Structure 1
């Protein structure tokens, strides 16, 4: 057996008699639903003799080698400013680019992460849906989780603190921090212009806890690793302003400079227990190079 056949991320099947591809896949993956098998094929996870095939009626010959790649990011979808990191029957994990809305606003109805994923799953089956589990601000990039059923969405949202094991961001902020690590704890409320503000008065809003640690800095900027203990709206942005070191490019929360041409906030790690299989999944998105380009 060659090295290629030893890849643990690929299932291999040798064709014993002539058949069309979809019926063959339905037989060898008999524990999966028809829709699940069709979506695996449409996503570009199936190869015949090392050639990627997405046509359901592709004719197989005796001796052909069919390879099925596990949890492969969607090739068949044409996304704008986002890509799929992982997908199964219950969830989709994406990497969202800066500038893309998570969900529709009054100004933007079509080009959102939610709309693009909805269109994608409906191409696989008209009754398919996706559900928002949590959001990233429009100008924040990084890892984001969606559910494929309402039941799974509710399971994730109702048990978010228990299910999520690690949720980290990288933030580029103004100025040099005096402490290399710390924790910000306050109560957040939203004012009339939809800005979150921080209060030290107990129960004056929703409790928000943010942990931060310095990665590197100079006199003008500091790059921080930020871990959320709670997940409130604009939490990191409000807490960085309270700390006296607003996120670069974040004019709403006190920033006066924008050396990287975007908001300096990136959701780089999300680890959680799968809501159905209880498997620990961890996803990491590379921090934009611009965040490191200061001396």
Structure 2
């Protein structure tokens, strides 16, 4: 391999140099790259760089001769066409940079012990002719239904991940809970701690003085209620802790119906389907190309049945809306519905 030059693309803005090389030359080790930088063989706009240097669009990167990659191994088998069709049916919105899915309850987002089918393994079905494999930007629990955001390129994934970290993404969940929280709206400010690891980890309410406690805050509002027996809540997580909404509803004394892990017997009232009634309803986020994107997901079948039985009126699900170059209204993603507490 001879010396080559590469131009940093818009999609690679603010990417670290070592991550750029990992993307384009995945077999190159960090140690070899550090040596190439240290000896001045890798240069950016003619200047020496370190592996931590951030790139900007339009810069010229000098790539020296690199070690030959190892012999290729057998390629993974193509995705089962049935799985490709299944994930295609989940697509609610798609453009050149992002895809938004409506994940069904019971389907894991990613793999783990004993998991043979999950969203991440199915993303090749959305690749099309792109050189990049789509990437998950965030996760929701296996038993939670609703919106999942997918980036179509690594650069877009980095931008969206930064938006999630910076709390620029507004997420609204709908839940059907046992009981009726009082007051009817407010912020649950209850630190959480995790016991154990992996899929068996349990999250508990923690004392603020506990060194293992993590701050966790959730805004909630009762959208509708059937007396004091069952309530429909709109939940907006202000932090992003594991199982946060499920534990916070439990701490209110109103566990989410069908929760397999939190709420105990109270979460499984007679006459209701034994599935988690928690739905990632709406996303309102900065689009990587500018402006804001709003997407809402229709209720899953089991929650739709419960809404009908309780007399809750969700109204029509709004179509995805991309507002280019302007701030989107904060009213749409909350999706309060047309019912009133009764």
Band the TM-score falls in, shorter-chain normalisation? 0.5 to 0.7
- The residue aligned with 1:233 is 242
Displacement of 1:125 in angstroms is 3.2
- Please state if 1:220 is matched with 2:221: no
Alignment of 1:48-59 (within 5 A): none
- The residue aligned with 2:304 is 289
- Please state if 1:99 is matched with 2:106: yes
C-alpha distance in 2 between matches for 1:82 and 1:248: 27
Q: Is the 8 A contact 1:167 1:270 kept in 2?
A: yes
Q: Is the 8 A contact 2:260 2:276 kept in 1?
A: no
RMSD between superposed Cα atoms in Å: 2.3
List alignment gaps of at least 5 residues for structure 2: 1-83, 312-342
**Alpha-carbon displacement from aligned partner over 1:21-65 (angstroms, at most 9, x marks no partner):** xxxxxxxxxxxxxxxxxxxxxxxxxxxxxxxxxxxxxxxxxxxxx
Alignment of 1:257-272 (within 5 A): 257=268, 259-272=272-285
C-alpha distance in 1 between matches for 2:264 and 2:151: 34
Alignment of 1:80-229 (within 5 A): 83-109=90-116, 111-121=117-127, 124-125=128-129, 127-162=131-166, 164-192=168-196, 193-201=200-208, 204-217=212-225, 218-229=227-238
Displacement of 1:291 in angstroms is 3.7
C-alpha distance in 2 between matches for 1:161 and 1:98: 25
Secondary structure class of the residue paired with 1:272: strand
- Please state if 1:244 is matched with 2:253: yes
Aligned residue among 261, 278, 287 for 2:290: 278
Displacement of 1:89 in angstroms is 2.4
Secondary structure class of the residue paired with 1:269: strand
Displacement of 1:126 in angstroms is 7.3
Cα distance change of structure 1 residues 225 and 291 upon mapping to structure 2, 3 Å threshold: farther
Question: Which sits farther off after the overlay, 280-289 or 149-158?
Answer: 149-158
Secondary structure class of the residue paired with 2:85: coil
C-alpha distance in 2 between matches for 1:154 and 1:206: 25
Q: TM-score, normalization: structure 1?
A: 0.67
Q: TM-score, normalization: structure 2?
A: 0.58
C-alpha distance in 2 between matches for 1:114 and 1:229: 26
Q: Is the 8 A contact 2:181 2:252 kept in 1?
A: no
C-alpha distance in 2 between matches for 1:97 and 1:280: 25
C-alpha distance in 2 between matches for 1:81 and 1:224: 30
Cα distance change of structure 1 residues 165 and 132 upon mapping to structure 2, 3 Å threshold: closer
Structure whose residues are more often strand by fraction? 1
Cα distance change of structure 1 residues 163 and 211 upon mapping to structure 2, 3 Å threshold: closer
**Alpha-carbon displacement from aligned partner over 1:215-263 (angstroms, at most 9, x marks no partner):** 1222321110111111211110011111111111113111421513310
**Alpha-carbon displacement from aligned partner over 1:65-102 (angstroms, at most 9, x marks no partner):** xxxxxxxxxxxx51159511112222211111111111
- The residue aligned with 1:35 is none
Q: Is the 8 A contact 2:87 2:125 kept in 1?
A: no
Tell me how many residue pairs correspond in the alignment.
Answer: 216
Alignment of 1:24-35 (within 5 A): none
